[in-house]
Structure 1
Amino acid sequence: MMRNRGFLKLISLSLAVVFLFTNITAFANAAVKKETVYVILDAGGRVKSQIVTDWIHSDTPNATIKDKSELENIVNLKGDESPQKNGEYVTWKLNSNDLFYQGTISKELPFEVSIKYYLDGKEIKPQDLAGKSGKVKIKIEVANKEQKIVKINGKNRTIYLPLTFAAVVNLPLDKFENVKTNAGEVITEGNTQAVVSVLFPGLLESLGLDGESEIVDVPKYIEITADCKHFELSPIYMVATNKLLDIKDVKKIDSVDSLQKAINTLYTSSEKILEGAVKLSNGEKEFTLNFEEFTNGLKLLSNASSELYKGVKSLEDGAEKLYNSSKQLRAGTSELNKNSQKLYKGVTEFGNGVYEYTYGTSQFSDGAIKIIDGYQTLFVKNKELFDAVKKVSSGLDLATSSQKDLEAGSKRLQDAIQNVLEGTKKELEVLNIVYNGFDTVISGLQKLESIPLVKDVVTNVIAGIDKQRQAIKGLIDSKQAMVSGLSQILENVKKMSQGQENLSTALLQLKDAQAKIASSSDLIVQNQKVLDQSAAKLKDSKKVLDEGTRKLLASKDQLVSGTKAFCDGTEKLDKATAQFVSGTGKLKDGAKQLSGGMVKFDENMKMVYSASEKLLEGSKELEDGTLVLSDSYRKFHNKGIKELYSKTDEALGKLDDIKDTLNELKEFSQSYKTFSGISDELDGEVKFVLKTDEIKAKEEKQVSKEVKTANTQTHEKKSFWKWLLGLLHIQVD
């Protein structure tokens, strides 16, 4: 019987170790889905959150994979492929052979973890244990909740999904002493120590051995005891998988010979497993290196997403300012459109004024030419007047020379004087007409001074005419004096009796007046020359004025048509600005939505990067763990499988039940391919990685001390246990 007990112990232990080596599974399908469920527990073992990471591999590159998943918030971890969801199905178009994605899920696990704490024999809440000292006990239990009923030798039996739990509990030497456990080993390295244990929840119940603890010594829970100072506990890590040893056909084990063959198969399979464990350790090392590069890339992407968010935020602010500015622009273009209509009306009126102005300037220039022509006629008449004055002067000379004969020829002199007097009066009338005409001409010319083009010429003409008018005024005065003198002479002639003295005086006065007339005549002749020059300039200026008028009329038409086009353009601009305001409003709303989306993207990116860091830590843990497990399995193989191989005749009891149950457990394990869902076209496997919250005292007072141990393992590279303790924020020298 004792030989059977040893056989069953070795069978149980061999199955337990094989559960850990899930990555060497062979799949028949071309596409495989490997799933890892990361579970965060509180210190008592209750579930707080679940994150699932899936790796889909296809032997065919760029394949289209139809998956089935209950995950939410799915994120592609490595590529840019986007999922196409249709109900519970998710379709991926791969860019290569591999796809990594993750999501969240709220689903009951196939097991339940319970962690209890005791201080000096009494149960205590974990938060109340923090900081206390004494005899501490930690009890970890796992209840298997995934079960089904099968027929074993005609009887109903409840079997449980074959799960293997590996747990690591870190217990630093500066806080925990005299550490013991009922399941697993206490491993010490340097100044650190940890308890590594394995549980197989539901295995004994499935095999029907749950009541035979003396036959099969498989622990149902993990119990750790230690002397503690100032209790604190880093997170407890656990890994669970559902893989069994791949025994080709357990039903063929129906005799001692077949049992021996099966043991031979078990031995050779164990050797292969040992070889696979070494390959797994090497492969996990390479995977960790690649995943570390991937995590560094995620870090850069996470930092870039923050910068991108800043840029999007700036875009949102800029869009807001652009929208506000566009509204101001809209108000400006509307006002511009209104004012352009007013401008068009004003330009039209201006054009009409230009037409009237050019017409007036044309009439004025024609009148000015006529005035010049009139002046030239006046000058001709003046010449005739001057000739008459000369004749009068000659007559006066004759009168003077004939004074001696005055008395004798008084009648003749009287007639001559009468003729001169009448001619002089007529001349005086003409001179008054000319003098008054000067005022009219000057008034007309002063109106021309407002025209820049002829202002200087007109001013010169007015100055010349004014001088001419002064000369005429002098001439009029002289003529009036002459008339007065002639009248007096005539009177004297009539009154010859008054005496020669009065006549001589009158003749002298007349001669003086005649001299003044002669002087005025010379001034008129000089002014006539100036007026002739000014008239020539005025005629030239008229030509320039006429040409300017023609160009002004042409420019008026261009100005009116250009203003009309400007008004049409401002109207179109006003309408376009309204559309622009609408577009900037949409841009502002879009930028706001983009900014909100970037906030979520940035948060998700940071969450993915944080999860990737944890995955990287877990991968490094797994890398060192696989190294330790490969070493441990080598010991197990040498001390267990080989010993079992040499004792095939020690266990025959319950063989039929066990082999049938093993077949059922194998099928149950192979059918459980996923936690979150899987399509029929994919093979799959799943494992669970669990982590509890740490228990930390409010005030930490640590006294460092050196602990020397004979059982210290030294490695050149960072070992699995050093990584684990580093993960728990504990320095290791």
Structure 2
Amino acid sequence: MKQGKKWVAVGLCAALCLGSCGVAMALPTTPQNRSLRPAGQAASQTQAPAQTGAQKAKKDEMVYIMAHAGGDIDHIVVSDWLQNPDSLPSLQDESPLINIENTKGDETFSAGSGDQLVWKAGGHDIYYQGQVEDPEALPVPVTLTVTYTLNGQPITPQELAGRSGHVTMRFTYQNNQTVSLTGENGEKKMTVPFVALTGLVLSNDTFTHVTVDGGRLMNDGDRTAVVGLSFPGLQQALGLQKSALSLPDGLTVSADVTDFSMGETMTLITSEPFAHLQDQELSSMDGLSGSLNELNTAMQQLLDGSTALAGGLSTLRQKAEALPDAVAALQDGALALQEGAGDLKDGAGKLKDGAATLSGGLQTLAGQNDALTGGARQVFESLLQQASGQLAQAGLSAGTLSIDNYAQTLSDLIASLDENAVYEKVLAAVTQAVNGQRPAIRDQVEEAVRQQVETAVTAAVQQTVTEQVTESVRHKVLEQVVPAVTSGQLDAAGYEAALAAGTLEKGVQTAVEQAVEQQMNSDETRATITSTTEAQMQSDSVKKTIQDKADAQMKTGSIQATVEQNTDRQVEKAISEQMASDKVQQQLAAASKGAQAVIQLKASLDAYNSFYLGLLAYTDGVSDASDGAAALLDGAEQLAAGAGDLKDGAGQLYDGLQTLSGQVPSLLDGIAALDDGAEQLKDGLTKFDEQGVQKLVDAAGGFDELAGSLRDLTQAAGQYRTYTGLSSSMDGQVTFLYRTEAITS
């Protein structure tokens, strides 16, 4: 049973692969701010009830997810097509998008309550585009994560740029979308099934020995294309054990790399293939065993047909190699016809047939002119949008770039990034920043000066206190020494009076002074002076004296001048240090590098502009050639009837053949691509027959068990019809396109 269930799922996956290949897309342009709406909560994903009327309006939605190289989302742009089959005068819509712009017409809308919009359709379809204000508030159902390793070690995309070694890239998809289904056993949660188709192109100059797990490789000699198909969440939704069948939910690419760089990657995500599995088709699985023989027969017919197709295209490819020479010969013949006129009667019939073929071909080419020039303009505007984004990320303001103004705008920006101009701007900014801190710097300087002043004042006060204490101690010593030296005849007061009067004997004075000095120089007396001085210095009165004197000196003009002078020096020092800092030097270097980057960016845009102008000239030439071919056809018909001017018609024929000759290489490339594709189709069908159909025939018993899960999958996919929301009068379908940014050094 497990084996049967396994091959049933394989067949289903193959069918989904084929069903998901028919989605067409174009990258969006940047919407202008014509209309603003605040983003709301995520809209309901339940399919709306049927609309009264012959046909129901439909919302076809394309969600472009612009992501960084690691898969994290940068911004989201949504393109909506409101189909109006009944040509209604107005269309009800719901959308939380901002910057909504009508991309194909002049129809306008009015905003209702919540996310409601009413478009004044006037019987037309509406094509509009908008942006998601907050991707976290309106999450996408499937998230992408891209991880990188270099020589087995994890590495960021930014670090990987320019590196060499063995690189492995893993694309992982996380399905976060569920819906509630009600069945016989009550309500249950069901994962909405999605198909993810990822593509990337690798230069063979950078990537060699490329291998892929979960995809296929195609190599044209210069580049290797990698295509992978994944089914995020399908394994769990079907209840399949990995031992029975492991459905891919990611893509792994490995290669040996030199100087790593890689362009953008694209991933298409949709649930449409599952939504289109009809209940009648699922019901038929109950008795599918009898029909597998028909499937087997049809498969053999497909194999025979693909083999015949491959053989026929191979023959066409061989024969087409002679086409350039044939076209060149036809040009030579047309030129000879123009120069010599020839035999009017014999050549008229052939000219008529050739002119008809040429006119039809050139009309077809001319019919593609608008699409070709429109697509080229869309790519140009997308490049300009990316350029604006790169400038903004680099901190450079250039406004909105357009085809008309980008050259002058980038030239002005390059001039503003001159090294001297940048230095003056940085110096002005640093000076302003440091001057903003001047009060704090002055406080620090003033505090340092105060400490010096207080030190000097304290020393002076201590000197005075020491002198006072010494004098007091000397007097006490004198009171002790005088009575001892004079044998009690004099006391200290009498001694000082006699000394002042000049009546003191010289011998007595000398003896007293010697005794006093001896006592004053003793360790005990000195210790007394020191301790007494220190005690007085710690007294509140002395401390207050020191503080008052310091405050007074701090207010003097000389001290304030010193503070201002030192503050100026500290400010100048801070400016010099910051200008010499690594950060500022890096800013100056970055400015020079930024100027070079902008120059390179402008050169790239100039190159594409040259291509764009050439394309416009080419399409004008195709239109002119188409008009000329039509005129040639008219002339050839008249010539066949016996009238007309062969020489003028031949000239127009030659001009037309020149244009046709330019298209021959593209035709040959197309035939070669068809031949290669037919061969791949034959190989793929053979593999599908061997690994799918034949094993399905051998394992038919698993269909009945899987039918219930497939019905649930179809119902879940059918409920998820929109990303931004649907009105009650609309049906819908939605496709997601992830685009990760390029990695360059």
- Structure 2-normalised TM-score? 0.44
* Greater C-alpha radius of gyration: 1
TM-score normalised to the size of structure 1? 0.44
